[in-house]
Amino acid sequence: MFTDTHQTGTLEVSRQARSVRFRVTAGWLIAGLAVASLLVGLIWNHNLVRYPGAERQAAAQFQLRFQPTGNLSQLSAYQTPDDLPQVLSWYAQHFGLGHDMPQGDNCVKVTQVKAHLFLQQSLDVTLCAHPTHTLIFINRSLAVR
């Protein structure tokens, strides 16, 4: 004997359950968009801190790291034929970098820290003079305060 049953109806989910699900989904979407925009912003404007005409060093590739502590950092290295005072002047003029800290005989480090709402952005530039060129090491980071 073959029986054919048809049940019709709608599955109803309580309004409170739908509201909770929507809030959780919206929260994750907002957090994901915030992280993605920070990544895109760092990658997109990394050329803004690059000294004009400087060439990227093959031994030190562009690195972007995200740490579980909420710190996003970018490391890069460049070389330019210009002398150290000229390069230092450019960074001081364009970024208002200060606090010259000697780093050995031929190197100097300049820093900048800015706070934006709940984020802190820092820029460290280390310049090392050589007879024929200047090496530029850039460390940028964005951290949750």
CATH number assigned to the domain comprising residue 96: 3.30.310
1 lies in a domain? no
This prediction's pTM: 0.65
pLDDT on residue 134: 94
CB 67 within 8 A of CB 118: no
Question: What sign for the dihedral angle of Cα 56, 61, 64, 69?
Answer: negative
How confident is the chain (145 residues) per 10-residue block, as mean pLDDT? 59 76 87 72 64 77 60 83 91 78 81 80 88 90 75
129 lies in a domain? yes
48 lies in a domain? yes
d(CA 67, CA 90): 31
37 lies in a domain? yes
6 lies in a domain? no
pLDDT on residue 3: 56
5 lies in a domain? no
23 lies in a domain? yes
2 lies in a domain? no
Q: Domains in the chain: how many in total?
A: 1
d(CA 34, CA 72): 13
Which single residue is written with the structure tokens 């000697």?
102
State which residues form the domain around 82: 15-144
